[in-house]
Structure 1
Amino acid sequence: MKILDFHVHFFSRPYFEALAAQSPLPGTVAERLAHVVERTGIEIPPPDLDRHRERWIAELDRHDVERMACFASAPEEAPAVADACAKSDGRLVPFALVNPKVEGVADRVAKLMDEKGFRGVLLFPALHHYKISESVCEPLLRVLEARRGIAYVHCGLLIVKLRDLLQLPRTIDIQYANPIELVAAANKFPNVSLVIPHFGAGYFREALFAGAQCPNVLVDTSSSNSWLATQPAPLALKDVFARALGVFGAKRILFGTDSNTFPAGWRRDRYDEQQAALSAIGASVEVQAAIFADNARRLLARP
């Protein structure tokens, strides 16, 4: 079965350095990153961005992954991701994390999309304290609307382990992270594909509401889906897929892993878990092909 991963963080060295530079920990940026390595065992990518890109491409080849959506997970990382994707022969498709409240961000995204091949943005309302339905987001959404772009809108639980390891302030407020907020924006900007990652990351019922209401709201399946532990009644991953298929249908569910760091690399275990869940509910070959590849291929294609 063909695979396209709709949710991968590139996590190049500029990303780690950008967060480490904000850390209150003593020492240099390099010393702060050494602290992270000591605590987690992850590898900090080399300064040579080509080596990091080649490592990701090798991962895709090893696991027979056709393409991946490739996130610049901090504004400072966007140039590195743009360069890597431009050299990837289409295997890596770039997206930029942005804050709609920052002056000039809509123009910046327009330039990234028009000149650098970005397909859209990654939004964290809980981190930056806004609701996607608020007027502050409209300039950005107009840019995406004109280009039939994609906005991942992170909803629900948000824990950024690297921020915690670097002792950055905990500013996350999940009152801004309800998928219901997408409904007004989706209705106003029907040519924007609004993707709710991680099945809503705890706001599963609300994600279903948004999907039932708006045809341009989609979900991705990424991460370990540890949010299942927060639900008031026991819920297995196969049940999540069954309910999501009942509301979104096969064409609005996008496979993702939330892969990010090495040595873990591309998370084959998450693909295996999700494929097993779909098989357990009797999902057809056609349904699985849509979720694991066809939907992402359609959305990632430039209009």
Structure 2
Amino acid sequence: MYQDLHIFDWHAHFPIKGDLTQGGDNRTRQTGRIDSPAAVERQKLRDVQLAKTRHQWRLAFDFPEPETEPRSSEEQAERWAAELDTYGIDKIGFVTGRDNDELSRVVSMYPDKFVGFAHHDITRPDAAQELERAVTQLGLKGLKLLAPTVDILINDRSLYPVWETCERLGIPVLSHFGMLGAAGGVSYHPNMSPKVLEPVARDFPTVDFVIPHFGIQHVTDLLFLCWSCPNVSVDSSGSNQWVRWMPYKLTLDDLFQRFYETIGPERILFGSDSSWFPRGFANRYLQDQLRICRFMGMSHEELQLIFGGNAARILNVLFAGVQ
């Protein structure tokens, strides 16, 4: 246990050397044609800016530099299992890990601690069939996608077989909206705002859709989407430092307060967005978020929902924090 709570970190990334795109292709990492001189120069400038920003970010949070030597999946799984024991975390959800088969293999190493998500390209012709295989044969428990990497609108009818499969299998969808990447990353895309999800959420009311990072810069759109669609929830994962770039004062405290007032504790899920070592589990994020929720006066039951119970219910997994 962590303090007096059973913690389920619902949103983390399994670190696999060479897995630069965390389960997708590299469309969002491109800034133009790679054979264009302008794109090459733009990428150089981005790399310089990114290096400075990352260095400042790590100093601010007192995080170490990521390791560079390759590690096997077995080694990383063992490290993560030890990390959970060290911090008293009951379960962790890995939303990416190279591909569905590899992540399933990783989860099988510590099935009492690890939960995995399918994370393949949902625009491929066999996307629905692959999702079925990932869940029924590989044992994955949800679908993760990065909406700003999808070439067509999320609400395009051609994607409905994927949502129909989610509905039939009873699995949730974790869909990233908002800016992607660090400094120099992607800030514009037709799927950038979560409001494009509303037709899908309305057409599939029994599918749980979870939007991470409080919707990033589209927090207003997400609040109204949640108001409109009771099957849409939010997760709190990551540093949420994007609040510093909003044109009005906004804090993590404000986000928890506003979503708590709008949708209640039953639709807020804790996630750390942890990935690389030697940082491992980003305990600082859990400490910050738990402090905010405690100071808001939440009951023990409400805290247990946010920091574990909701994730277990949505993913339909056994968990000590669920009655």
Corresponding position: 1:12 with 2:16: yes
Deviation at residue 125 of structure 1 after TM alignment: 1.8
Corresponding position: 1:278 with 2:300: no
Match of 1:247 among 262, 287, 306: 262
Q: Which residue of 1 aligns with 2:43?
A: none
Aligned residues: 282
Match of 1:125 among 142, 147, 158: 147
TM-score by length of 2: 0.80
| Matched-pair contact (CA < 8 Å) for 1:151–1:194 | yes
Deviation at residue 302 of structure 1 after TM alignment: 5.1
Match of 1:232 among 238, 247, 254: 247
Q: CA RMSD in A?
A: 2.7
Stretches (4+) displaced over 3 A: 16-19, 21-24, 44-47, 170-175
Deviation at residue 89 of structure 1 after TM alignment: 2.5
| Matched-pair contact (CA < 8 Å) for 2:270–2:306 | yes
Match of 1:50 among 51, 61, 74: 74
Match of 1:62 among 76, 86, 106: 86
Q: Which residue of 1 aligns with 2:199?
A: 184
TM-score by length of 1: 0.85
Corresponding position: 1:207 with 2:211: no
| Matched-pair contact (CA < 8 Å) for 2:13–2:22 | no
Deviation at residue 160 of structure 1 after TM alignment: 5.4
Deviation at residue 278 of structure 1 after TM alignment: 1.1
Q: Within 1, Cα distance between the matches of 2:299 and 2:139?
A: 34
Relative to 1, partners in 2 of residues 1:17 and 1:171: Cα closer, same or farther, differing over 3 Å? closer
Q: Which residue of 1 aligns with 2:39?
A: none
Deviation at residue 196 of structure 1 after TM alignment: 0.3
* Amino acid of the structure 2 residue aligned with 1:234: K
| Partner SS for 1:95 | strand
| Matched-pair contact (CA < 8 Å) for 1:45–1:52 | no
Identity of aligned residues (%): 28
Deviation at residue 44 of structure 1 after TM alignment: 4.2
Relative to 1, partners in 2 of residues 1:156 and 1:171: Cα closer, same or farther, differing over 3 Å? closer
* Amino acid of the structure 2 residue aligned with 1:213: S
* Structure 1: 5+ residue stretches without partners: 25-35, 165-169
Deviation at residue 299 of structure 1 after TM alignment: 1.6
Deviation at residue 172 of structure 1 after TM alignment: 6.4
Q: Within 2, Cα distance between the matches of 1:197 and 1:94?
A: 16
Corresponding position: 1:148 with 2:152: no
| Partner SS for 1:245 | helix
Q: Which residue of 2 aligns with 1:137?
A: 159
Corresponding position: 1:262 with 2:286: no
